[in-house]
């Protein structure tokens, strides 16, 4: 019994020594704090007090710190979808910089002269006393209008969804309709404050995404 107790005690001591040694001598990994490059794991450099591999999403202070095309907002980037940007020059060709994030250029200009999100009085048809105007911020009591104009000779089935851009949850789907010429489609604003996005589909193709907020 005494031998078993001694063995268990020795085993515990060994485990503690190994664990403490691992903490003391462990090299910091990607994105972890550092004071100098030698404190980082193999292949990493200490950049802005963070261990960096130079890959997309790694910390950087200049482009030479990266293995990617850009160093934007102190992060390495290839300018692809979802990566950081300040202008379109920080993104791949034919990509846009929207709200500091690279996004593909929308395809709606191939089919439409305009797709506009507008504010109007709820439950009231458009008219001299209810003229819709372009907006990106709404109250939950506002009416909303998607103002559409197709290019000459363009016609096709269309619908749109209001979604939560973070979770992807579909809040509202407008029924399919035929898009031709100039027309508008009215609907109520979401009833909860937050950020939303309208996804516009034409002939089953996602052609545009419009961000808006409800306060």
Residues 58 and 41: beta-carbon distance below 8 Å: no
Question: What is the rounded CA–CA span in Å between residue 25 and residue 19?
Answer: 10
Q: Residue 43 pLDDT > 50, yes or no?
A: yes
Superfamily of domain 108-214: Macroglobulin (MG2) domain (2.60.40.1930)
pTM for the predicted model, two decimal places: 0.62
Q: Mean pLDDT highest for which of 9-23, 31-45, 83-97, 173-187?
A: 173-187
Q: Nearest 5°: phi and psi at 140?
A: -70, -15
Listed residue (199, 120, 196) closest to 159, CA to CA: 199
DSSP state of 130: B
Which conformational region is residue 54 in: left (phi greater than 0), alpha (psi within -120 to 50 degrees), or beta? left
Q: Which residue has the tokens 């709820």?
A: 122
Decide if pLDDT at 21 tops 80: no
Residues 6+ apart with CB under 8 A from 156: 111, 178, 179, 202, 203
**Residue 46 β-bridge partners:** 51
pLDDT tens-digit readout, 51-91: 999 999 999 999 999 999 999 999 999 999 899 998 888 99
The per-residue pLDDT for range 92-144, each reduced to its tens digit, is 887 888 878 898 888 999 999 999 999 999 988 888 899 999 999 999 999 99
Q: What is the CA radius of gyration of the chain?
A: 27
For residue 126, what pLDDT is reported? 86
Closest CA to 84 of 70, 98, 62, 101: 101
- What is the predicted pLDDT for the residue at 93? 84
> In the 8-state DSSP scheme, what is residue 36?
S
Helix/strand/coil (H, E, C) string of 51-78? EECCCCCCECCCHHHCCCCEEECCEEEC
Which DSSP letter does residue 27 get? Answer: P
Most confident of 8-17, 27-36, 85-94, 141-150: 141-150
Both tokens of 41, joined, read 């794991």
Domain map of the chain by residue range? 37-104, 108-214
């Amino acid at each position: 019994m005494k031998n078993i107790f001694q063995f268990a005690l020795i085993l515990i001591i060994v485990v503690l020594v190994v664990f403490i040694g691992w903490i003391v001598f462990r090299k910091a990994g990607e994105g972890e704090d550092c004071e100098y490059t030698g404190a980082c794991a193999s292949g990493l450099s200490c950049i802005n007090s963070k261990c960096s591999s130079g890959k997309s999403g790694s910390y950087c202070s200049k482009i030479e710190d990266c293995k990617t095309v850009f160093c934007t907002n102190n992060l390495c980037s290839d300018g692809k979808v979802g990566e950081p940007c300040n202008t379109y020059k920080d993104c791949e060709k034919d990509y846009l910089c929207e709200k500091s994030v690279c996004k593909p250029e929308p395809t709606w200009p191939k089919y439409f002269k305009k797709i506009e999100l507008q504010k109007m009085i709820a439950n009231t048809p458009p008219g001299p006393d209810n003229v819709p105007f372009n907006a990106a911020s709404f109250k939950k009591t506002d009416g909303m209008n998607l103002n559409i104009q197709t290019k000459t000779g363009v016609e096709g089935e269309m619908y749109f969804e209001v979604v939560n851009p973070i979770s992807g949850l579909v809040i509202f789907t407008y029924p399919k309709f035929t898009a031709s010429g100039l027309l508008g489609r009215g609907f109520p604003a979401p009833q909860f404050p937050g950020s939303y996005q309208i996804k516009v589909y034409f002939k089953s193709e996602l052609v545009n995404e419009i961000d808006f907020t409800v306060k």
